Amino acid sequence: MDVVVRRMREGDIDGMVRVYLDCFRGMRDPKLVKEWMMCNYRAYPRMQYFVAEKDGRVVGYILWVEKGGFRKEAVLELEQIGVLKEFREKGIGSRLVLESLKEMRRYLNERGSKLKLVEITTGTSNKAQRLYEKTLKAKPECVIRNLYRGDELIMIARFL
């Protein structure tokens, strides 16, 4: 499939809001989603978005967040990933994880840092766990009870 994974540009935001609304239930008001995304976008390089684009349309995105400071041994959180329903299970989610992580590691190397680990929080029954095992070799670490809409599993992928 003709899909490109690249860094987000400001003009992608309306497409990303559509992806959010197709994927998540935490916010239903598109204006609020846009505001949240703009906050994240402006928080570069602490927060970094990448999008999957197909024929000029945003069909997915991923958000990375650096935690605990700009450390020599960097800790990243894969804060959010979503792909439009009609484009799922075609490998786009995997490409978003792997290609954006490569860029994140390039960014960290240029800063003189190394990636220590990636933390991911996901619903205990979310099939996305499989995606994180496959792409990052992430392993379940612990469960937080009743975090967003229910119990959430913390997964960790260690690189150092």
Nearer to ligand COA, 13 or 78 (CB): 78
Least separation, in Å, of the C-beta of 110 and ligand COA?
28
| Interface with ligand COA, residue 131, by CB under 6 A | yes
Q: Is 15 in the site for ligand COA (CB under 6 A)?
A: no
Alpha-carbon distance of 43 to 55, in angstroms, equals 28
Q: What is the DSSP letter of 1?
A: -
Closer to ligand COA by Cβ: residue 4 or 71: 4
Can residue 90 be called a binding residue for ligand COA (CB under 6 A)?
A: yes
134 forms part of the interface with ligand COA (CB under 6 A): yes
Please report whether residue 101 would count as binding ligand COA according to CB under 6 A: no
Specify the stretch interacting with ligand COA by CB under 6 A; choose among 6-14, 39-47, 65-73, 83-91. 83-91
Buried b (16+ CB within 10 A) or exposed e, 119-141: bbbbeeeeebbebbeebbebeee
Nearest position to ligand COA, beta carbon: 93
